[in-house]
Amino acid sequence: MTEVRLLNSFVLNGELMPVSIVHAQIAQYRHIQLEVFDTAVRNPSARLGFSQGVTASAAHSALVQIDSAYLSPGSFEVCLVRLHEPTEVGLAE
């Protein structure tokens, strides 16, 4: 199971939003992919998708920075977290 923790409840446009991703095997992958969707609208859709290198911040945890400059004002949620490029043979991608 993957746990997503927003470290700030809000940010101003242009600020980085730190997000902690907790997963038992996160240190065994090189990249994390996130998809951010809008909420509180009639037809929620993806507003931002990006991938970045895994930077381990603690055991089974990595820190990701979402750049809010690419988002319009509103409410958003992280709907997809995917790990890419396993460091060992046999791990699922």
pLDDT computed for residue 89 by the predictor? 72
- Answer for the pair 51, 33: CB distance below 8 angstroms, yes or no: yes
Strands 56-58 and 46-53: unpaired
- pLDDT of 93 > 80? The answer is no
Nearest Cα residue to 62 out of 15, 18, 92? 18
16-72 per-position pLDDT tens digit:
888 999 998 888 888 899 999 999 889 999 999 888 887 777 778 888 888 889 888
91: confidence class by pLDDT, cuts 50, 70, 90: low
Question: What domains does the chain contain, in order, with CATH numbers?
Answer: 3-86 (2.60.40)
Please report the pLDDT score of residue 84 as a whole number. 87
pLDDT at 92 exceeding the cut of 70: no
Query: And the tokens for 29?
Result: 């992958």
